[in-house]
Structure 1
Amino acid sequence: MLIVVLAVALLTAVIPFAAHRARQALYPQKYEDCVRMYAQEYGIDEKYIYAIIRTESGFDPKAESDAGARGLMQITRETFEWIKTKIAPDEQIGFDSLYDPETNIRFGSYFLSFCLERYDGDLSTAAAAYHSGVSKVNELLKQSEYSSDGRTLHTFPYSQMSNYVRKVQKNYEQYCALYS
């Protein structure tokens, strides 16, 4: 009987730990030094950067979308060129540099911080802008069926945008639960 009690006690302690470790494997914190550094530099929660990376590329630094977005945080050429004027105007880096994890996280984190600041820290609206573009979100903010305050979206009218925002929110919630 004592052996059974000890076995149950051991399993009760081990199973939750193993389940937690398994969930962490699904929601990794790769590129931790870069994420931490740029999260601090741009004033962003690290877990939000991880949620974007997981949603965008699944942590594949060589990922490329049908639209030509590149790297971990999936940045398009147009967005890269705009960000470069803001944070690296004198640096000799090109669009191919986005395959480098540090460069990609640096540029993506800057753009994410820009979106968060522009939309009053609203994670959903910032994610929509990160994915679909600031100009598209700005258009939607003018329409009362999508925004009640003109600053944040309460409805995401396009299925791709809505699915993206939902994935980012789910990933962020998981990162918060696992790493808080």
Structure 2
Amino acid sequence: MSNKKALLVIDYTNDFVASDGALNCGEPGRAIEDDLLQHVKEFDEKGDYIILPTDYHFKDDPFHPETALFPPHNIAGTPGQELYGQLASWYHKHQDQDNVYKFNKNRYSSFQNTNLDNYLRSRDIKDLYLTGVCTDICVLHTAIAAYNLDYHSNVYEDSVASFDQVGHKWALAHFKNSLGANVLTTDK
């Protein structure tokens, strides 16, 4: 069994987290910043992988289904699509490391239309640790895809957030009860 693991930091961008973001999840998204960054630093210190799947859209794209569901967000080339806060600073200092991988995605799941599965398999990574936003949208769809591709998921409860607290709580239960994921809690 492989002992290689990867931390996925999903969609922790200005548009989803900053108070003036186009589709921000509010204070819950900002409240996880310190814990999320701590997990990033722990993975980096151990030489484990840190993967940053980042939502990426084109303004007023008539062919993308999210155009009808949400206001424009994470538009290519805008500050809204950039990583948020301390994570952005960390990434700029570490982006050239072999264990750091950032890529754009155009669907909720980090696996859909991307090379994430190939990236993980080529490095014999089977254990995923999920963080980011939104718990009940992109984190959830990534966890479902990971389950269907036979990865084992762990979700850091202190490092996921949503603008919908009912959806957030439902997703945490779904990770555990339907996907067999470990929901990792920390004592505070």
TM-score, normalised to structure 2's length?
0.23
User: Which entry has the higher C-alpha Rg, 1 or 2?
Assistant: 1
More strand by share: 2
More helix by share: 1
TM-score, normalised to structure 1's length?
0.23
